[in-house]
Amino acid sequence: MSFIVRQVAKRADGGDIIRTRTLVQAELTVGRGTDCDIQLADLAVMLRHARLVKITADKVSVETTGGVPVEVGGKFVTRADLTIADNPTIDVGPYRLSLSPGEDGAVAITATRVVPPIEAADAAQETSIFSLSGAMPTRRRMAWVGALAVLVLLFLVPLFHFIGEDQADLPKDMVAEAARPITPGQAFGDGKLSVPTARPAAAGGFAPDESWSSGTLSNAHASLSNNCGACHQKAFVSVTDGACQACHTKAALPDHAAPARMARGRLPETGVMGAAHSAFNLPQGRCTSCHKEHEGEATVMTVAESFCTDCHSGLNGRLPDTAVANVPGWAKHPDFRATLVSSPSLDKPVFTRTALAGAREKSGLIYPHDIHQSTTNAVANMAQKQRLPVGADGALPCSYCHKADSDQVRFKPIDMEANCGACHDLAFARDGGTVRTLPHGKPAQVAGIIRDFTLSESFAPRAGVQRLSFDRRLPGKAPPPLSGGNPAARAQAAVVSVFTGKGLCTECHVITDTGAADLTRRFTIAPVSINDHYLPQGQFPHGKHKSYDAKTGQAACVACHTGVMKSKASTDVNIPGVANCRECHGAPAKTLLSNTAKAGASCDTCHGYHDGVAPGAPLPAGHVQPARVAGRQAAGRNRQTPA
Amino acid sequence: MASTAPVRKAMTGKAVTRAPRDTAHEGFLTHKRGRWAKVALTLSIVAMGAYLLTDPVPRHNGGTWLGYLLGSIGAGMIVWLSLLGVRKRVIGSKPFSLKGWTSAHVYLGLSLIVIGTLHTGFQLGWNVHTLAWALMMIVILSGLWGISLYANLPERLSANRGEVTQLQMLEAIRTLDRQLDTAAQPLGGEDAEFVRMSLEQCTIAGSLRQRLFGNYASDGNARALAAISEKVMAGLRSGRADDRLQQIQFLLERKEAALAQARRHISLKTQLELWLYVHVPVTIALLAALLAHIISVFLYW
């Protein structure tokens, strides 16, 4: 009945120290306590952990005594019978007791520490404890992950999207909108060309190369925000005019001038800027030279004044045959040359650009502005009696004849019946309940009507027919009876009186008596062309100028059109000069703190760039379309420009 | 004696004469009386002046002549600044000292805030271009953070550790562990468990959060000390003081003090290192973003 206990301890150099004891007893105690037969010095072992009892010659039972189980054959048990011949093992804490048959029927027990004790500090631990390498991934790994993530997500993915992208599908409604011609003279500053809210992005969702966008697209182009290839068609090639003109056709947005002349007129780039633009493949004069995209909502429309004066300040030096005067800037803007009617015609009036000083216009109409603006004369009297909308001063207001057109830029064409007819009525007789009137603008019809009326009165006079006098007269006053012999002569006299007498045609028109035998062809009326666009190269939105220098209404009109109250003839040109505009435009505001101009003075305040080579034509519907502009001076207006 | 002077020189006994040197330490911030601070300040003022005196249409951004100029300068500076990591690995290279290089790195890096931001024209968005700017700002600000740490922490670091090395701090803890292990051998199961808690569940450094904020209340040693102290107090109150437990308590307290010193050291070192864990990887990501930024601009020219 004996146990041979061998306790194995590790030496510092790695070798084993084996202490062997032979205990002659039937029972062994195992534990941490110093009184145990097998002392296992580890706090995981109970003071008295277990008891080994030799039951038979070849069997030993193990029984825990400390309440903590032992591990036998992979199982935690509190009690087990072990066959020595099987060489069983018992794990107690970090120790393993290996049982085997010993000499002389003894049980040999080898106690070995199988779980190493807490190690001593070493240099490797020092690094992991005292530096962040123990708590963080290495900087090198983080750098690789970050850099690769950026390169893949923001460079390679967009790049492959660009390479794999088919030819862009342009949104149909955008293309349709772009193809709609703009009204010539329409300035960008007036807000009509702006798109107030961003168009929605086209179908297809987010495109990876959107991450390359340098800024928000303008509202008008926002549909293209996920369609970079619509404009950026070729890698490393700056956006071409072709990309713009895929939507903005030349028909809708004509060239400013013929491209070849534009190229010659442009100030050539020199120095560093020129070298840089040439080195980086940025030819000048492209759409994108002026129109910068990716600058936010409305900025694609913003163009600097210097872009205009770049060319126009010394244009005649580079383009000697130009008809356009040099414009170094607003302060030195040449005075206006009004486009005046030089030869009135019913169908082909001729206009001539003329310097304002001393200019006369040949509209063919007789019309003194002064007597129509009086507050006291017969005109005023009649207007009041007719209950026309006279002003507070009793005179006819400008707006009685000059009615703003739909876009408030210019005025509706003067119309005889609407604007003159209230006073200058063409009634010639009262026939029972009917007032007989003459048709305006049809002299042959007038002659015929008067002749036939007079003849019928001679041959078959009817009761209730009263001839009316054309002379301005008190109401109810009968005209003097027609004198003369036979009815034909009376009829002829009546016709002559209509065309040559006071109060009717001659009031406004120049009549020529051709002496023709045919009474309906005898009198011709000089053609009248009333100008309604004196400065067609620019635009003057009258609607925006309803008040001027604290004046409104009539006074505001007269403030600029100063001569009109004293104008005795329609040949007077009452168009204000450029100095008049400068009183506000570009003039410093009269406040203590603000130094900003009272009103804008950039070129596009008045001028459009994309009006084509013939700005001003066609005019809005309803206006007389000028057939041609005569003379060298107007060459810029509708010339077929040679290269 | 015509040859006195050369003879006296030969008698100094030094094979190589040392270059005269200021005895007072001159840090990289004051290197050459702030030469690079002046260069950087001038650069920033010139850039701001150019920005304010030009009025591009429709607005300032990276696409104007000034934008391209600032962008080119900025990109060159970023590449050069990131080369500090290469320079510091090349020992004794000429003509510029590492200190001078570091001084230039710091001040030119700060001027990059002005150069890079003016290059953007304050036109920022969710794109690769703004990403490059944002990464650049993160790098610069983390560098600024690092400099402020270097101005304060080394003094505290050396005050905390006295003359003790890091390895000695660890050894002290290990020694206490061994003493605890030995002292606990006679203890019963429950008490031994507490000591095991201190021995086996004690983390000196722990997670990044623990290292930075020093929250070790749930650490093994702290819990063991609390439990043992309670038992000792209970023993004292009942008049049956347990000498063995008091010995354990004493050892646990000493271990707690040793841990506290090591952990203060770890906390300071963590702060000294952490900014570099931002500065360096973000710099590399910035170089990648810069590449993507530049190529994409010219690709979608």
The partner residues of A509 in beta bridges, in order of sequence, read A365
| Phi and psi based region of residue A278 (left: phi greater than 0; alpha: psi -120 to 50; beta: remaining) | alpha
Q: Which residues of A touch B205 (CB under 8 A)?
A: 128-130, 134-135
Give the model's pLDDT for residue B8: 47
Residues in chain A with CB shorter than 8 Å from the CB of B189 are 46-47, 66-68
Residue A320 lies in a domain: no
Helix (H, G, I), strand (E, B) or coil at A111: strand
Q: Which of B54, B86, B128 to mutate to test binding with chain A, by most A CBs within 10 Å of its CB?
A: B128
What is the mean pLDDT of the segment spanning A602-625?
Answer: 61
Q: Which residue of B has its CA nearest to A163?
A: B299
Has residue A613 got a pLDDT over 70? no
Q: Cα distance from A155 to chain B (closest Cα, Å)?
A: 5
Lowest mean pLDDT among A44-48, A239-243, B208-212: A44-48
What integer pLDDT is reported at residue A167 of this predicted model? 66
B65 touches chain A (CB under 8 A): yes
Q: How many Å apart are CA B87 and CA B105, to the nearest integer?
A: 11
- Residue of A92, A156, A214 to mutate for B, most B C-beta atoms under 10 A: A214
Q: What is the pLDDT of residue A156?
A: 95
- The pLDDT value given to residue A632: 34
Q: Which residues pair with A7 in a beta bridge?
A: A19, A111
d(CA B235, CA A394): 118
Q: State the CB neighbour count (10 A cutoff) for residue B39.
A: 15
Q: What would the two tokens of residue A443 be?
A: 């002299």
A15 or A469, greater pLDDT: A15
Angle between helices B166-184 and B189-200 in degrees, nearest 10: 170
Q: Flag whether A521 is in a domain.
A: yes
Residue type, B193: E
Say how far apart CA B194 and CA A614 lie, in whole Å: 100
- Pick the most confident of A151-165, A186-200, A378-392, B7-21: A151-165
Which of chain B's residues have a Cβ under 8 Å away from the Cβ of A146? 281-282, 284-285, 288
> What are the extents of the domains in chain B?
29-151+275-299, 166-274
Cβ(B81)–Cβ(B110) below 8 Å: no
The string of pLDDT tens digits covering residues A70-81 is 888 878 888 999
B175 vs A90, more confident: A90
Q: How far is A206 from chain B (nearest CA, A)?
A: 13
B188 touches A at CB < 8 Å: yes
Q: A222 and A99 share a domain?
A: no
Rounded CA separation B108/B88 (Å): 17
Predicted local confidence at residue A643, as pLDDT: 31
Structure tokens at A579: 């100095």
Residue, of A253 and B53, whose pLDDT is higher: B53
Element holding A53 (H helix, E strand): strand A50-54
Burial of A54 (C-beta count, 10 Å sphere; 0-12/13-18/19+): buried
CB A208 within 8 A of CB A161: yes
Cα A640 to Cα A356: distance, rounded to the nearest angstrom: 26
* Cα of B299 to nearest chain A Cα, Å: 4
What pLDDT was estimated at residue B106? 94
Residue A612 to chain B, least CA–CA distance (Å): 24
Task: Say if residues A192 and A184 touch (Cβ distance below 8 Å).
Answer: no
Does any CB of chain A come closer than 8 Å to the CB of residue B86? Answer: no
Low-confidence ranges of chain B (pLDDT < 70): 1-24, 93-94
Task: Show which of residues 17-36 on chain B sit within 8 Å of chain A, judged by CB atoms.
Answer: none
Q: Is A535 a member of any domain?
A: no
Instruction: Compute the nearest-CA separation of A75 from chain B (Å).
Output: 21
Give the pLDDT confidence score for residue B3 in this predicted structure. 43
- Put simply, whether B208 touches A (Cβ < 8 Å) is yes
Residue A498: which domain range? 419-525
The answer to whether B122 contacts chain A (CB < 8 Å) is: no
Phi, psi at B122, each rounded to 5°:
60, 25
Q: Do B205 and A304 touch (CB under 8 A)?
A: no
Residue from the list B57, B170, B196 with its beta carbon closest to the beta carbon of A125: B170
> Taking a C-beta distance cutoff of 8 angstroms, is the pair A610, A184 a contact?
no
**Closest residue in chain B to residue A238, using alpha carbons only:** B301
Please judge whether A132 and B273 are an interchain contact, meaning their C-beta atoms are less than 8 angstroms apart: yes
Residues in B closer than 8 angstroms to A289, CB to CB, are none
Cis peptide before A69 (omega within 30 of 0): no
User: Is some CB atom of chain A closer than 8 A to the CB atom of B187?
Assistant: yes
Determine the pLDDT at residue A302.
64
Interchain CB contact of B195 with A (< 8 Å): yes
Say yes or no for a CB contact (<8 Å) between A43 and B187. yes
Q: How far is CA A370 from the centre of its chain?
A: 47
Instruction: Report the chain A residue with the minimal C-alpha distance to residue B207.
Output: A135
Nearest-neighbour CA in chain A from B84: distance (Å) = 15
Q: Which of A476-485, A498-507, A528-537, B133-142 has the lowest mean pLDDT?
A: A476-485
**Residue A312, C-beta contacts closer than 8 angstroms, at least 6 positions apart:** A324, A326, A327, A328
Range in A268-272, A537-541, B1-5 the model is least confident about? B1-5
> What is the DSSP pairing of strand A27-31 with strand A38-39?
parallel
Distance CA A255, CA A613 (A): 7
User: DSSP letter string over B149-165?
Assistant: HHHHHHHHHHHHHTT--
Contacts A295 to B, Cβ<8 Å: 58-59, 61, 123
Contact list in B for residue A292 (CB cut-off 8 A) is 57-58, 63
pLDDT of A448 strictly over 50: yes
pLDDT tens figures, A22-33 = 988 889 999 988
Task: Return the H-helix or E-strand segment holding A177.
Answer: helix A172-179
Mean pLDDT for the stretch of residues A37-58: 87
Q: What is the DSSP letter of A304?
A: -
Q: With contacts defined as CB-CB under 8 Å, which chain B residues touch A32?
A: 185-186, 192
Residue A599 inside a domain? The answer is no
Residue A504 burial class via C-beta count within 10 angstroms: exposed 0-12, middle 13-18, buried 19 and up:
buried
pLDDT at A623 (0 to 100)? 46
Mean pLDDT, rounded, of chain A? 82
CB pairs under 8 A between A and B: 182
Whether B171 has its CB under 8 Å from any CB of chain A: the answer is yes
Structure tokens at B192: 């031994």
- State pLDDT tens for residues A378-423: 888 888 888 888 888 888 899 999 998 887 888 888 999 899 988 8
Show contacts of A508-515: CB within 8 Å, 24+ apart: A508/A365, A508/A366, A508/A367, A508/A420, A508/A424, A509/A364, A509/A365, A509/A366, A510/A364, A510/A366
pTM of this structure: 0.71
User: Are residues A18 and A106 both part of a single domain?
Assistant: yes
Q: CA B180, CA B174: separation in Å to the nearest integer?
A: 10
Tell me the chain A residues in contact with residue B200 when contact means C-beta distances shorter than 8 Å.
118
For chain A, the domain total comes to 3
Query: pLDDT category, A590, cuts 50, 70, 90?
Result: low
Sign (positive or negative) of CA dihedral A507, A508, A514, A516: negative
Residue A160 banded pLDDT, cuts 50, 70, 90: very high
Q: Which of A628, A444, A608, A409 is nearest to A521 (CA)?
A: A444
Residue A120 has pLDDT above 70, yes or no: no
Mutate to test the interface with B, among A154, A210, A282, A291 (most CBs of B within 10 A): A154
Percentage of chain A beyond pLDDT 90 is: 20
pLDDT, position A206: 87
Place of tokens 């600029």: A560
Q: Does B251 touch chain A (CB under 8 A)?
A: no
By Cβ distance, the residue of B58, B127, B173 closest to A211 is B127
User: What residues are paired with A61 via a beta bridge?
Assistant: A53, A81
